[in-house]
């Protein structure tokens, strides 16, 4: 039965993740994390995996996971989005779905324990079991311990230390998401399926929903920051949050956040219960959530004024995260195009 709203267990999971992130992923911690060679706080990632099991949630228990669903992972991702936490969970969740769809279960136990995995979507060709070509950008491709590579019509797994493979971290606008360029030159690979189409379709849907979860959390962060600032910043002798025009703008931000959360949750539930309209709901949620996050981020900048464009303030992190999520698994107009008959 579809859970129209998060259950008590979901709420408790969100609370546990939020409490941990409040302690370990505040503004200064986020800035320290993006300066690490991995692009994220490896100790925090280990804690999330060991204490809460975030990487194991959507992996069946028979393959070393916790045996839950994407709904539980959604809850975690939204909290990571709210905290703007740099984390490889998005990459690993998408790779996990590709491996499950390809019926290749060997790496899943290690991924459940926290080993980072990612999907290399395009740019690589296969000939005689060897892969060649450049691929960029690849989510956390420079630090991933498992590479799932789409090449030709097949899907392959590649040892990240394989001869002929070079990996280099890329610097993007959003420093809280890690990207890399991978160059393959006659790299040996293990083919795990002859037809990659169905596995990549499944992985793309999960990626779309996961990005929507992060976008909802990002929008919530922008709203929270703006409301708090409007209570403190005074103009003409009173808090700017008391001005009716600004109240209306923040109310509009709240509506966008709440509608995003409702749409994304409905889409995740449709995926979990394998409903016939799951693909359409995923595309609709992705389109709305990414545009809403962009709109909320823009208002966050505007309502904070000049301080919002300084490096020291977090408003620019919200805007950059929203912009990156807007493009990861398809722009909003591309998502809407899939809804046309």
DSSP string, 259-276: HHHHHHHHHHHHHHTT-T
DSSP string, 194-260: S--HHHHHHHHHHHHHHHHHHHHHHHHHHHHHHHHHHHH-EETTEEGGGSHHHHHHHHHHHHHHHHH
Residue 3's pLDDT is 66
Give the pair of three-digit tokens for residue 46: 């280990």
Q: 259 pLDDT exceeds 60?
A: yes
Give the pair of three-digit tokens for residue 191: 């083919």
Question: In order of start, what are the domains of the chain with their CATH numbers?
Answer: 8-98 (1.10.540.10), 116-195 (2.40.110.10), 198-337 (1.20.140.10)
Q: Are 212 and 326 in contact (CB under 8 A)?
A: no
In the 8-state DSSP scheme, what is residue 106?
T
Residue 340's pLDDT is 84
Determine the Cα–Cα distance for residues 153 and 21; give it in Å rounded to an integer: 41
More reliable by pLDDT, 133 or 2: 133
Burial (0-12, 13-18, 19+ Cβ within 10 Å), 109:
middle
Determine the Cα–Cα distance for residues 312 and 203; give it in Å rounded to an integer: 36
Report the interhelical angle of 244-272 vs 197-232 (nearest 10°): 160
Q: 64 pLDDT exceeds 50?
A: yes
Percentage of the chain exceeding pLDDT 70 = 99
Determine the Cα–Cα distance for residues 200 and 156; give it in Å rounded to an integer: 12
Residue 1's pLDDT is 46
Residue 4's pLDDT is 67
The tens digit of pLDDT for each residue in 191-250 reads 999 888 999 999 999 999 999 999 999 999 999 999 999 998 878 888 888 889 999 999
Give the pair of three-digit tokens for residue 152: 């030709």
The tens digit of pLDDT for each residue in 44-55 reads 999 999 999 999
The tens digit of pLDDT for each residue in 158-199 reads 999 999 999 999 988 899 999 999 999 999 999 999 888 999
Residue 206's pLDDT is 97
> In which element (H, E) is residue 158 found?
strand 154-158
What's the mean pLDDT in 277-286?
Answer: 96
Residue 46's pLDDT is 97
Partners of 125 in beta bridges: 132
Q: 152 pLDDT exceeds 60?
A: yes
């Amino acid at each position: 039965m579809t859970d129209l709203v998060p259950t008590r267990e979901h709420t408790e999971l969100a609370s546990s993740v939020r409490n941990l992130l409040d302690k370990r992923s505040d503004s200064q911690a986020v800035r320290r994390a993006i300066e690490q060679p991995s692009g994220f706080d490896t100790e925090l990632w280990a804690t999330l995996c060991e204490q809460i099991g975030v990487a194991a949630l959507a992996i069946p228990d028979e393959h070393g996971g916790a045996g839950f669903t994407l709904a539980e992972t959604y809850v975690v991702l939204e909290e990571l989005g709210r905290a703007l936490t740099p984390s490889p969970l998005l990459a690993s969740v998408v790779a996990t779905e590709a491996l499950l769809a390809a019926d290749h279960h060997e790496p899943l136990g290690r991924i459940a324990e926290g080993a980072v995995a990612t999907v290399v979507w395009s740019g690589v060709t296969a000939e005689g079991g060897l892969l060649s070509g450049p691929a960029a950008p690849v989510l956390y491709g420079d630090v991933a311990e498992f590479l799932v590579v789409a090449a030709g019509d097949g899907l392959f797994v590649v040892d990240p230390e394989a001869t002929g493979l070079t990996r280099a971290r890329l610097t993007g606008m959003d420093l809280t998401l890690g990207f890399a360029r991978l160059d393959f030159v006659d790299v040996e690979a293990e083919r795990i399926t002859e037809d990659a189409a169905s596995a990549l379709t499944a992985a793309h849907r999960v990626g779309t929903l996961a990005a929507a979860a992060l976008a909802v959390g990002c929008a919530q962060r922008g709203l929270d920051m703006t409301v708090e600032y409007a209570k403190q910043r005074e103009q003409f002798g009173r808090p700017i949050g008391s001005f009716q025009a600004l109240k209306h703008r923040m109310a509009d931000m709240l509506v966008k956040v709440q509608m995003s959360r409702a749409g994304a949750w409905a889409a995740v539930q449709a995926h979990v219960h394998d409903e016939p309209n799951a693909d359409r709901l995923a595309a609709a949620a992705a389109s709305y959530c990414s545009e809403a996050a962009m709109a909320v981020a823009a208002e966050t900048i505007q309502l904070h004024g000049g301080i919002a464009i300084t490096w020291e303030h977090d408003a620019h992190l919200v805007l950059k995260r929203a912009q990156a999520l807007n493009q990861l698994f398809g722009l909003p107009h591309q998502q809407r195009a899939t809804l046309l008959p």
